[in-house]
Amino acid sequence: MKAAEMYKVEGYGAIVTGGASGIGLSFVEVLAENGARVTMLDVSQERLDAETKRLKAKGWDVRGMKVDVTDHPALDRAFDETAKLYGRLDVCFANAGIDPGIGFVTVDRKQRVPEGAIENYDDARWNRVIDINLNGVFATIRAAARHMKPRKSGRIIVTTSMAAFEIEAGIGASYMAAKAGAAHLTRNAALELAKYQITVNAIAPGWFITNIGGGWMTKKEVQDEVAEWVPLRRVATTEDMKGLALFLASPASSYITGAQMVIDGGSNIGNVFD
């Protein structure tokens, strides 16, 4: 098989949670521009309408559905409707997530932040992050597995983070716990579903320019500061995500499961300041 054939997703049926912005939108775009039929799930009807209109204008087969991943019955219905529409479900990106806000230090690590300290962490903040970033991933994997197992085929890709294995003290503790849990859940699901030729892998992004957390990474001064810590000396755009996403969604990755692939410009291997 030629390399180009290995990356074909034409005709696939796909779902992306949190698909109307940021990294999730890059997943939608790379699948759709390569011929997949994609349903993006998101909590923002405004973003869904705008992105569906924009992507359809390109001639791509994209639709949007307003669904909150914490509403598990609604999530199940969205999967059922989508699988029925496409006649198949080949790919699922469990991507929806939120940033819990400040951690116990400032992002530049120069001072402590009392509001982000563990003793001031309230239950509502903790529970909401876990509910979306971990429980939502569980419910998404479960919904996908119900449709993929009978066909003995499928690709499930979970968005984790560098925070799954490395503490980012400028972000709240619940984010680290949720992403680490999602990474281990990925491995558990991969082992369980391997018998059915369903692969389950995770993508662990580093510093990407998105609107998460109020869009603080869209600020030029923040990008410049963060780039000093990254060995490749730049922060990533969502375009940097597309190659890896297509690889994991396509036949090219057919013998990879239970992996967490880091895409961070080398940040996890250390920092240099020369």
Please work out, in degrees rounded to the nearest 5, the angle formed at the alpha carbon of residue 239 by the alpha carbons of 233 and 240: 45
pLDDT score of 238? 83
Q: Beta strands 62-66 and 198-205: pairing type?
A: unpaired
pLDDT score of 208? 67
* AA letter at 1: M
- Give the global pTM: 0.94
DSSP 209: -
Structural domains of the chain sorted by starting position, each given as residue range(s) with its CATH number in brackets: 3-263 (3.40.50.720)
Taking the C-alpha atoms of residue 33 and residue 61, their distance in angstroms, rounded to an integer, is 9
Residue 187 · residue 158 · CB < 8 Å: no
Q: What's the start-to-end Cα distance of the chain, in Å?
A: 44
Taking the C-alpha atoms of residue 153 and residue 140, their distance in angstroms, rounded to an integer, is 16
Taking the C-alpha atoms of residue 150 and residue 237, their distance in angstroms, rounded to an integer, is 37
- Model confidence at 212, pLDDT cuts 50, 70, 90, reads low
Q: Which residues are catalytic?
A: 175
% of residues, the chain, pLDDT over 90: 73
- Model confidence at 215, pLDDT cuts 50, 70, 90, reads low
pLDDT score of 5? 85
Model pLDDT for residues 130-157, shown as the tens digit of each residue = 999 999 999 999 999 999 999 999 999 9
Nearest residue to 39 (alpha-carbon basis) of 47, 48, 142: 48
Task: Using alpha carbons, list the distances in angstroms from residue 240 to 19, 96, 244.
Answer: 16, 19, 8
202 half-sphere exposure, CB direction, 13 A CA radius: 28
Q: Beta strands 37-42 and 62-66: pairing type?
A: parallel
Higher pLDDT, 3 or 150: 150
Give SS3 for 160.
Answer: coil
pLDDT at 197 over 80: yes
pLDDT score of 37? 98
pLDDT at 88 over 90: yes
DSSP states of 40-65? EEES-HHHHHHHHHHHHTTT--EEEE
Instruction: List CB contacts of 91: < 8 A, sequence separation 6 or more.
Output: 9, 12, 13, 14, 15, 31, 36, 154, 155, 156, 157, 249
Model pLDDT for residues 34-44, shown as the tens digit of each residue = 999 999 999 99
